[in-house]
Structure 1
Amino acid sequence: MSKRKVDEDSDIDVSSTDESDVENTPQDAEEEEIVDVDFDYFDLNPEVDFHATKTFLRQLLGDDATQFDISGLADLILTENSVGTTIKTEGQEGDPFALLSVIDATTNASKPSVKGLLDYFLEKTQKSTEFNMILRKLLDPKKTTKDNSKQLRVGLVISERMINMPVEVVPPMYKMLLQEMENAENAHEKYEFDYFLVLSKIYRMVDAEVESDEKQPQKKLKSKAEPGADLDYFHYEDIVLEANSRYHAHYEYTRKLQETDSRRVFTEYGIDPLLSLILLDKKGLEKSAVEMEEKFPPF
C-alpha cells in the first residue's frame, strides 16, 4: 500500500565522470542531465522486501552481522500486521531504498534471533555501567516498574537506508511509525512501548595509509594530514535522537573484516564504522519526530 509521495520534482545530479567530461565546455557543464526521481512510501511487503531487509540489517551490524540470525530478524520485521515503512521508486514490487520498523524486544526476547542481538547489546554496554544496568532491568522478563506493577516494554527500532538517500526522507517515516503504532489493531497490546532502543551506526575518521612515492611502492606511509579523530554520522537524524535520549553510546564492532584504508574513497582519511545504541522513552521519541521535521524539512 502506497502511503505518500515525497516530492515529484526531487532532482538527483547524475553527471558522468568518464574521460569525455574532461573535454566538456563550461556550457556543457551547465547542461548536465537532471533525472527526476519520485520517492514513494509503502507498507512493509513480506513477499518483496525480505532480501533487502536482510541487507539493511547487515549494514547496521557491520562486520559483526555474521554472528546473528539475520533471516530470523528479517522475518520478525516483516511479520503480518507489523508496522513500518519502506521507500521505493518503482512501486510496491520494487526494491526498498530505505526501511524503518520496530521489533517488540520484550515479547520476543526469548526468540533466538532477538536474544542473540539483545545479549550482544548487553555485552557491548558493559563499560557504560549505568546504560548497561537500565538495559538489563528493561530486558528482564520480570516486572520492572518501581512498584513491580508491570513489565516495561522495549521496542527495538530498525532504521537503515542506501547511503545516497537524503536525511530529509526520514522524518515522515518516524511520524508514520508513531501514528501506525497508535492506530494499529490491538495497539495497546502490541505497540504500547515505554522505551525505544535505536540500533544505528556512526563512523570515526582515522589516518589513511597511502602509498609512498619513492622507489618502494609496496611500503605504506601514514598520511601527513591531521588525523580526523572526530566522530560523524551515517544517519544525521541520530543527532536529534541522541539529544532526546536517556542514554546513548558508541562501541567498536567485535570483528574487523575490512581494513580501515580499504574504506577510503577520494579522501585522505579512512573510516572506522562504530555501533551506535540510543535509548529513548516514549516522549523522547515523539519529541524527536517533531524536531526532525523542523531540522530536516522536505525538499
Structure 2
Amino acid sequence: MASYEKKRHVEASDESTLQAQDQVVHNDLEGEESSEDDSDLEEEAMDTEINEVHMSAESWPFSKKQCSLGGIADLLLSQNQIGCVVKQSEAQLAEESDSDDDMDDHVYGVTSVISLADKEDIPCIAQIRDLLITKCKECADSSCHAEFQRLLDKTRVGLLISERFLNIPPQLAPPLHLSLHKDLTRAKSKDEKWNFEYLVLMCKCYETMGQAKKKKKKKDSKLDQEIKSFFFANAEDEIFQKESILSFKYSILEETDTAIGGSWGVDETQLKTYRTVMVVPMLKMADILRDIQNNLSS
C-alpha cells in the first residue's frame, strides 16, 4: 500500500503528536440545513490533536484467507477522492529511518467506503459479499438472513472500512468520520453510485470472560461465578450499533492469522475475539456523526 499520498492523511508529527489536518465538515449533513451545531463540529474537527502513540500490527476485519487484501488495498487506492489515512509525517520517518525503504508503507489506519453493489463483479468484493452472507446464515436467524440478503441485492450498500491499530486514541475518530462524510457528500453530487442507502460495518469486538469469587453459603454452592463483558475495538462502533437496523456476531477464533484475534488469558481473564456485522441507514449518519463528536472528541 504505497500510494497513500494521493489521499488526505493524518500525520504523526515530529513533535510526537497525531494531528487531524484538512478535516472539514460539510455544512449540510445528509440534506439537513446548516446550523450552529454543524459549525461547532467543523471547528472542533479541524482542531483535533492527539498525543503520541506506539503501534503494533493488527488484522483487517477479514483475514487474507477469506478475501484478497491486496485487491481491497488496490481498490481503496483507486478511490483517491474518498477516504483518508493515518500515517507518520515524512520528517519523522526520514529521521527514524536507517534505510532507503519506501516510507509510504508506514500507515496506521484507513477510513473509507467501498461499494458492495457496483463492485460485485470484482473478485475481492464478491469474496466479501459471500463471507457476509455465509456468516449471517450461520449466526443469525432466518428473518435476519433474508433481510440482509435483500439489502445486499436490492439496495445501494457501501462497506465502511474504518481500520486503526489497536492503541490509536479514540479522539481521532471524529475527524476521520466527518472527513469521510464530506467526501461522500461531494462524490454523490457527481456520481449516483456513491449515494448509498445503507452502510455495512464489520467491527472488531471482544468478550472478556473472567472468574469472580463469591462467598460460600452451602457446601454444594459454586465458589466461582463467570463474569462477561463485551466491547468494540473502535469506540465509535457502539454508536453505530445503536442506530443499526440489524446486526449479527461471529467468532473468528478458528480463522485469525495472528494471536491478537484469538483467545488468551490475562490475570485469569479470557479475551475472545469476534466480528459484529451491522447495517446502518445513511439517513442516521447526521445523528451518528454528532454523537461521535460529542462522546469522543475529548
Q: Residue 87 of structure 2 contacts residue 106 of structure 2 at CA under 8 Å; is this kept in 1? A: yes
Instruction: Determine which of 103, 109, 126 is the counterpart of 1:98.
Output: 109
Instruction: Determine which of 119, 130, 133 is the counterpart of 1:119.
Output: 130
What is the correspondence of 1:168-207 to structure 2 with a 5 Å cutoff? 168-184=171-187, 187-207=190-210
| 1:108 counterpart = 2:119 | yes
Letter in 2 for 1:200: C
Could you tell me which residue of structure 2 aligns to residue 269 of structure 1?
A: 269
Q: 1:70 to 1:177 in 2, by over 3 A?
A: same
Could you tell me which residue of structure 2 aligns to residue 138 of structure 1?
A: 151
Q: 1:38 to 1:106 in 2, by over 3 A?
A: same
Structure 1 residues not aligned, in runs of 5+: 10-34, 44-54, 145-151, 209-223
CA distance in 1: counterparts of 2:224 and 2:255, whole angstroms: 24
CA distance in 2: counterparts of 1:156 and 1:134, whole angstroms: 17
Q: 1:93 to 1:250 in 2, by over 3 A?
A: same
Please report how far the alpha carbon of residue 7 of structure 1 lies from its aligned counterpart in structure 2 after TM superposition: 9.9
Deviations 1:118-137 (A, max 9, x none): 11111111123333222211
Q: 1:269 to 1:135 in 2, by over 3 A?
A: same
Q: 1:185 to 1:129 in 2, by over 3 A?
A: closer
Q: Residue 82 of structure 2 contacts residue 183 of structure 2 at CA under 8 Å; is this kept in 1? A: yes
| 1:37 counterpart = 2:40 | no
Q: 1:164 to 1:42 in 2, by over 3 A?
A: farther
CA distance in 1: counterparts of 2:259 and 2:105, whole angstroms: 33
CA distance in 2: counterparts of 1:41 and 1:85, whole angstroms: 10
CA distance in 2: counterparts of 1:265 and 1:88, whole angstroms: 32
Secondary structure, in 3 states, of the residue corresponding to 2:226?
A: coil
Letter in 2 for 1:227: E
Q: Residue 206 of structure 1 contacts residue 227 of structure 1 at CA under 8 Å; is this kept in 2? A: yes
Letter in 1 for 2:142: T
Could you tell me which residue of structure 1 aligns to residue 218 of structure 2?
A: none
Letter in 1 for 2:290: V
Letter in 2 for 1:123: T
Q: 1:290 to 1:180 in 2, by over 3 A?
A: same
Q: Residue 250 of structure 1 contacts residue 276 of structure 1 at CA under 8 Å; is this kept in 2? A: yes
Q: 1:256 to 1:136 in 2, by over 3 A?
A: closer
Counting aligned pairs with the same residue, the percent is: 19
Q: 1:239 to 1:185 in 2, by over 3 A?
A: closer
Please report how far the alpha carbon of residue 261 of structure 1 lies from its aligned counterpart in structure 2 after TM superposition: 11
Deviations 1:6-50 (A, max 9, x none): 9989xxxxxxxxxxxxxxxxxxxxxxxxx742334589xxxxxxx
| TM-score normalised by structure 1 residue count | 0.68
Could you tell me which residue of structure 1 aligns to residue 142 of structure 2?
A: 129
CA distance in 2: counterparts of 1:176 and 1:296, whole angstroms: 15
Q: Residue 252 of structure 1 contacts residue 275 of structure 1 at CA under 8 Å; is this kept in 2? A: yes
Count residues in correspondence: 234
Structure 2 residues not aligned, in runs of 5+: 24-56, 91-102, 212-222
Please report how far the alpha carbon of residue 243 of structure 1 lies from its aligned counterpart in structure 2 after TM superposition: 0.6
Deviations 1:188-228 (A, max 9, x none): 323110110011110111359xxxxxxxxxxxxxxx97534
Secondary structure, in 3 states, of the residue corresponding to 2:89?
A: coil
Instruction: Determine which of 159, 170, 173 is the counterpart of 1:167.
Output: 170
CA distance in 1: counterparts of 2:251 and 2:277, whole angstroms: 12
Could you tell me which residue of structure 2 aligns to residue 283 of structure 1?
A: 283
Letter in 2 for 1:105: L
Structure showing greater radius of gyration is: 1
Could you tell me which residue of structure 2 aligns to residue 157 of structure 1?
A: 160
CA distance in 1: counterparts of 2:74 and 2:12, whole angstroms: 31
Letter in 2 for 1:132: H
CA distance in 2: counterparts of 1:199 and 1:104, whole angstroms: 14
Deviations 1:159-196 (A, max 9, x none): 11111101110111111111111113763323110110
Please report how far the alpha carbon of residue 254 of structure 1 lies from its aligned counterpart in structure 2 after TM superposition: 7.1
Which structure carries more relative contact order (alpha carbon 8 Å, separation 6+)? 2
RMSD: 3.3
Q: Residue 225 of structure 1 contacts residue 268 of structure 1 at CA under 8 Å; is this kept in 2? A: no
Q: 1:226 to 1:234 in 2, by over 3 A?
A: farther
